[in-house]
Structure formats: structure tokens, C-alpha cells
Amino acid sequence: MSTNENTVQKSDVYQKVTDAIINAIEIGVGHYHMPWTIRQDKGFSPISVGSGKPYRGINTLVLWAQAQSKGYGSAFWGTYQQWQELGGQVRKGERGSPVVYWGTYEKRGANIEDSESNRGLFAKGYTTFNIEQVDGCKLPKRFDPKLSQNERIAIADAFFAGVGVQIREGGNRAFYRPDTPEAVYMPGFDQFPDPVNYYSVLAHESTHWTSHDSRCDRQLGKRFGDAAYAMEELIAELGSAYTMARLELELTPREDHAQYLQSWLDVLKADKRAIFTAASKAQQAADFLVQQAGRLAEVAA
């Protein structure tokens, strides 16, 4: 195997990623264990050993999916070369998992004065390996966990208080209504089995809350047609997973959303770029919540 980073053919990257996610969703259909409900050792988001930072967007989702389907318990991923730089060796015969690097290029004949409209976006695939596929690698101490469960719950409480969404408690259902765009509706805190379950549901409804045109302005009808409602639910699922991972809390599976599974699979199988759109919009929503909360980085530091 070459010491260079293995690249996935450009023409295949969308299909390879989509196939990996479809496979992981289908594995979990019977008991509604989706790839975004996975918890891994020392990290709730997949972590790049090259940068020491969590992956984002579609890469987070595809590595969650790969971890579920292949049974990896660790959150740490790296390219062949990155593992070598840490003194590790990918075992012979191990198959890697795709991640995507996004970049821009200058279009031919571009007008220099209009640099924005003359830049194109491209996706390049790379192959990564989980630490469980690697021998002889010892991770730096910087990857050790820092916060207790109680500390993380306290941060989640401060986080959602800082977001600014109005929480209207009452009843037995959680939902967001576009005709009351400043609020989400939640059962009472004491109706949930534990705080993590409550924040998991609140993260989902808060992701819906970001769809309003004064926030992320999420318009899906033109892109997905009749499947727009189901795709909004997928975005809310992914957005809540990204938010909970950012808070280092485990996402609670929502069995009441099993009704959307076939719609999601139908769209993903018909359109290899649909999951990229959903993951991008979910990451945008999660980033918006973090920006609104503002104090999260300072509290967690």
C-alpha cells in the first residue's frame, strides 16, 4: 500500500458515501438504531487524528455509519499516512472508509472582478481508517476526555438557555409549528426519563426552529418536492445528532420517526447527492444554534 493518502475516484465519491449511509440505515431499521445514535469511546463525533478536531457535516455522518456497520467502538480516524506519522501501521487487508474534502477552483475564462461567481466547488474523496484497524499506535493525551456527565448536562442547560428558543411546555408531544416561529413545544422536563433524553428531543425541535426564514431559511420544496417534509425530519434528526455530539451527550433514538425511514431511503437511493444536501443543512442548523448560544465555548473551556 502506498504511503500516500488513498483517494477515492471523484466520480464515485457521492455514490460511495450514499451507499455507506443507506447500508447503515437499513441495518438499523428493525430496532430504529440509526447511524447517528452511535456512541464511541472518548468521543461523540468522529475525530481526525491529523487535526485533532471532530469531522463535520457529511463526514461525521458517514463515519458514524461506517462505525455502526463495521462495529468500531472508537471515534478516532485517520488516513494511512496520518497513522504512519503517529507510529501506527494499518493492518494488511483492512478496507478504509470514505471522507470528503471540499474545495474550490477558478472557472475558465473567469472575470477577476467577480471572484465569487467564478469559483466552482468540487468534492474529493479520501480513504480513512479507524484506530481499530491500526497496530502500534498510541494516541496523544490531548484526546483524553475532560468533562463528567454532570458537567456536560450543566453545559447543555446553559446552551439551550442561550439559544433563545422559547420552550412552551405542556401535553405529551414535542413539535415545532411554523405559525408560532419563536417557540417549540415540549412535554414537561419531569416527563422524560432523564435530562439527556429531554435535551435530545429539544435539540431535534430546535433544529426545526432554525428552518424559519429569519434564521437558516430552509426551503426544501423545490429540491425534494413531495419528499420535502420527510427530508426536513431527516435534517432535524441529523442536526440534533450534531448538536448533541457537540455537547458530548448521547442522542436518544426516536422510534416515533420510523414512519419516515422508507421515504429517506427512497430519496437517497434515487439521488446520490440528497444526503449531502441534508447533512450540509443539518450542519448549518447546528452551527446556528452554537452561534446563538454564544457562551458554549467559554463554558466548556
pLDDT digits 0-9 by tens, 163-221: 999 999 999 999 999 999 999 999 999 999 999 999 999 999 999 999 999 999 999 99
Whether 44 has a pLDDT exceeding 90, the answer reads no
Burial class (CB in 10 A: 0-12, 13-18, 19+), 139: middle
Helix (H) or strand (E) holding 217: none
> What is the pLDDT, as a whole number, of residue 187?
96
Q: Is a pLDDT exceeding 80 seen at residue 81?
A: yes
Residue 2 pLDDT greater than 50, yes or no = no
- Angstrom distance (rounded) from CA 185 to CA 255: 19
**Distance of alpha carbon 290 from alpha carbon 159, whole angstroms:** 8
| pLDDT at residue 276 is higher than 60 | yes
pLDDT (tens digit, 9 = 90+) per residue, 143-153? 666 788 899 99
Average pLDDT for the chain = 86
- Location of C-alpha cell 443543512: 281
Q: What pLDDT is attached to residue 299?
A: 45
Q: Across residues 71-85, what is the average pLDDT?
A: 93
Model confidence band, residue 297 (pLDDT cutoffs 50, 70, 90) = very low
* pTM for the whole structure: 0.86
